[in-house]
Amino acid sequence: MSEQLASLEQEIKKRRTFAIISHPDAGKTTLTEKLLLYGGAIHLAGSIKSRKTQRHAVSDWMEIEKQRGISVTSSVLQFDYEGARINILDTPGHQDFSEDTYRTLMAVDSAVMIIDAAKGVEAQTKKLFRVCKERHIPIFTFVNKLDRYGKAPLDLMDEIERVLGIRSYPMNWPVGVEGKYLGVYDRHKNQVVLFAEDTTHGQEARQADAFDIEDEAWHRRVGDNAYHNLQDDIDLLNEAGEPFDRARIDRGELTPMFFGSAMTNFGVQNFLEEYLRLAPPPAPRESSVGLIEPQDEKFSAFVFKIQANMNPAHRDRLAFIRICSGKFTRNMSVWHSRAEKSIKLAQPQQFLAQDRQIIDEAYPGDIVGLFDPGIFGIGDTLCDEGKKLAFADFPVFPPEKFARVQAKDTMKRKQFVKGMEELTQEGAVQLFRQAGAGQESYIVGAVGVLQFEVLEYRLKNEYNVEILMQPQPYEVARWLAFPDKREVTPGGLKGIDRGMFVYDREERPVLLVNNEWALGWITENNPDLRLLTAPE
Ligand code: G4P
């Protein structure tokens, strides 16, 4: 093996690229911050107090940046921990929730799902989980906020299985009683880890003492009750629980589950270590010329996100690429598959925990930000000129937010129609027309409301049209079809008044409804109707 290939393999082996999926407020920001703390990338985790007022206005990571006074901005954080190189990709939540959040999941090799122990599985987690499940990537569960009262661990396992359809394997188990857990039992090491009281409010890594399960010392420390409860729980898990099965974890069919508290550093280090042990390094990817192994010395990457205006001082656009194979070097020339031309990557940026910096090289699993003069699109493949290929197209994510849009000034109808047609062509917002309506108003759909704001802003600035926007109560869109291809009309369906019947820009019929429950009702009442998440 050549020296070059050996070093490429080394680099690949140590990389772990993942995203955190969770509902807002479950603790994504706090856990990210704590992982950085344990990784030595920051020294004292900041008090996350006083974030509340600002929190909904800016992205979570910008919050960390403000609090810490360091730049951890934007799409990816990279740090080292005991020989591993970790890339955490941001999945914007709150107001920033958008198609980008889903697209980020196309660029990771595994996902960490945070569940708030008191709230269980919440809506946004469900949506993000679905995307991960479709990709069959390993999903690791961190049950957070164990420092206070929440649902019982067995009930949470049950809920995850019922709501998400995935079995879990607890990697550790809390010791003590709810709201007052004293530590965790580590099933892999067969050890009980007891935590010293947190006197720093989670600002420093927490003192922990590990005991062999047979050691009576931990029994004396936790008392008879907690001791016997744990023995009973361990027996139950061993007898009735899922067996540990690495292959099922790798395929995303079984989720390793960890209990802890990001705020008080309870179980965080144990989670990080076990995660690094079990999570996969960069995986091969399907392409037009077959499976591309990361060890392939020919460079390949794809664009998964484009971000405009990162720096308000100058309106730059950054295209984020995920490297799939080979080594990336600054100033290299690559083949842009869609544009069918060669381009030079001159100012690549990487986002280390400390700062944004120009990078000289990067490896499979890494994310690099490229200045984009408008040549990149989502899903574009960049590759070696000696091995031209294209990665599979990105899936389309159905819109979940809808609004009726019309021009404030009816005299501006023409510009309005032009602006709507042109801007929605870019794909961030989907355009619909209500059955029976003309061009005086449109229904627009997007994954997150932020895109509506962008649309409003651009219509005003680029087309000089102010709009009225009325949010609609629908959250689910389904394209409609009959198996025998006969025409779908509003009159031919039952119970359709529970939603809104619209046509997409290709005049295909679509039904918008409030929720999955309403969808079930429509299905029951129109048994031969097909309801599709994307047009065929
Ligand atoms: P997010 O990024 O997923 O939206 O969540 P974030 O980390 O911002 O955490 C949301 C809230 O939950 C914060 O409280 C945070 O302090 C709290 N939190 C996170 N992890 C834990 C934990 O392990 N235990 C407990 N008890 N709370 C946790 P906040 O009230 O919004 O802010 P603050 O008043 O704490 O600053």
- Cβ–ligand 1 distance for 285 under 6 Å, the answer no
Q: What is d(CA 268, CA 494) in angstroms, rounded to the nearest whole number?
A: 52
Looking at ligand 1, which atom is closest to the CA of residue 30?
Answer: 7
28 Cα–ligand 1 center, Å: 8
Q: Given CA atoms 496, 502, 508, 513 in this order, what sign does their dihedral have?
A: negative
Looking at ligand 1, which atom is closest to the CA of residue 60?
Answer: 2
271 Cα–ligand 1 center, Å: 18
Q: What is the mean pLDDT of residues 442-465?
A: 87
What pLDDT band is residue 316 in, cutting at 50, 70 and 90?
low
Map tokens 């091969």 to a residue. Answer: 284
**Cβ–Cβ < 8 Å for 334, 385:** yes
What pLDDT band is residue 50 in, cutting at 50, 70 and 90?
very low
- Cβ–ligand 1 distance for 150 under 6 Å, the answer no
**Ranges 369-378, 481-490, 505-514: which has the least confidence:** 369-378
In this prediction the pTM is 0.84
**Cβ–Cβ < 8 Å for 379, 107:** no
33: nearest Cα among 82, 68, 85: 68
Would you say residue 72 has pLDDT above 70?
no
**Could you read off the pLDDT of 326-359 as tens digits, one per residue?**
999 888 999 999 999 999 887 666 544 344 566 7
64 Cα–ligand 1 center, Å: 12
46 Cα–ligand 1 center, Å: 12
In the structure encoding, which two tokens stand for residue 180, read together? 């007052």
15 Cα–ligand 1 center, Å: 28
Give me the pLDDT at residue 71, please.
32
Q: Tell me the angle at which helices 153-164 and 216-240 cross, rounded to the nearest 10 degrees.
A: 30
- Output 447 or 254, whichever has higher pLDDT: 254
Q: Which of 22, 50, 263 to mutate to test the pocket of ligand 1 (most atoms within 8 A of CB)?
A: 263
- Strand, helix or coil at 154? helix
**Could you read off the pLDDT of 387-426 as tens digits, one per residue?**
999 998 888 788 999 999 999 998 999 999 999 988 887 6
Give me the pLDDT at residue 227, please.
93
195: nearest Cα among 106, 268, 294: 268
Would you say residue 258 has pLDDT above 70?
yes
69 Cα–ligand 1 center, Å: 19
- Cβ–ligand 1 distance for 60 under 6 Å, the answer yes
123 Cα–ligand 1 center, Å: 18
Would you say residue 138 has pLDDT above 60?
yes
Q: 123: buried, middle or exposed (CB in 10 Å: 19+, 13-18, 0-12)? A: exposed
Q: What is the mean pLDDT of residues 206-224?
A: 87
- The number of helices, as runs of H, and strands, as runs of E, in the chain is 13, 29
Q: What is the mean pLDDT of residues 213-226?
A: 91
- Cβ–ligand 1 distance for 48 under 6 Å, the answer yes
**Ranges 375-384, 398-407, 452-461: which has the least confidence:** 452-461
Paired residues of 338 in beta bridges: none
- Cβ–ligand 1 distance for 25 under 6 Å, the answer yes
Paired residues of 211 in beta bridges: 192
Would you say residue 527 has pLDDT above 70?
yes
401 Cα–ligand 1 center, Å: 26
**Cβ–Cβ < 8 Å for 319, 376:** yes
**Could you read off the pLDDT of 157-197 as tens digits, one per residue?**
999 999 999 999 999 999 988 778 889 999 999 999 888 76
Give me the pLDDT at residue 479, please.
94
What pLDDT band is residue 481 in, cutting at 50, 70 and 90?
very high
224 Cα–ligand 1 center, Å: 32
How many CA atoms does the CB half-sphere of 338 hold within 13 Å?
13
47 Cα–ligand 1 center, Å: 11
- Cβ–ligand 1 distance for 113 under 6 Å, the answer no
Q: Given CA atoms 57, 58, 60, 64 in this order, what sign does their dihedral have?
A: negative
Give me the percent of the chain exceeding a pLDDT of 70: 86
Average of per-residue pLDDT values in the chain? 85
**Could you read off the pLDDT of 273-290 as tens digits, one per residue?**
999 999 999 999 999 999
Question: What is the chain's Cα-based Rg?
Answer: 25
- Cβ–ligand 1 distance for 92 under 6 Å, the answer no
- Cβ–ligand 1 distance for 226 under 6 Å, the answer no
In the structure encoding, which two tokens stand for residue 293, read together? 């192994």
**Could you read off the pLDDT of 483-507 as tens digits, one per residue?**
998 999 988 888 888 899 999 988 9
Beta strands in 13-125, from DSSP E residues, in sequence order = 15-21, 76-81, 84-89, 110-116
- Cβ–ligand 1 distance for 59 under 6 Å, the answer no
Q: Which of 23, 48, 206 to mutate to test the pocket of ligand 1 (most atoms within 8 A of CB)?
A: 48
How many CA atoms does the CB half-sphere of 60 hold within 13 Å?
27
- Mention every residue, 6+ apart, whose C-beta is less than 8 A from residue 153: 143, 170, 173, 174, 233, 259
- Strand, helix or coil at 428? coil
User: Whose C-alpha lies nearest to ligand 1, atom 32?
Assistant: 49
Would you say residue 42 has pLDDT above 90?
no
The domains of the chain, with CATH numbers, are: 14-68+86-97+109-278 (3.40.50.300), 285-383 (2.40.30.10), 401-532 (3.30.70.3280)
Give me the pLDDT at residue 1, please.
65
Q: What is d(CA 253, CA 430) in angstroms, rounded to the nearest whole number?
A: 33
262 Cα–ligand 1 center, Å: 8
Give me the pLDDT at residue 512, please.
96
- Cβ–ligand 1 distance for 305 under 6 Å, the answer no
Q: What is d(CA 192, CA 208) in angstroms, rounded to the nearest whole number?
A: 10
Q: What is the mean pLDDT of residues 126-142?
A: 95
What pLDDT band is residue 203 in, cutting at 50, 70 and 90?
low
Would you say residue 305 has pLDDT above 60?
yes
User: Whose C-alpha lies nearest to ligand 1, atom 9?
Assistant: 27
Give me the pLDDT at residue 198, please.
61
62 Cα–ligand 1 center, Å: 15
Would you say residue 311 has pLDDT above 70?
no
User: Whose C-alpha lies nearest to ligand 1, atom 17?
Assistant: 27
**Could you read off the pLDDT of 81-120 as tens digits, one per residue?**
999 999 999 887 776 677 888 889 999 999 999 999 999 9
CA 6 to chain centre: 32
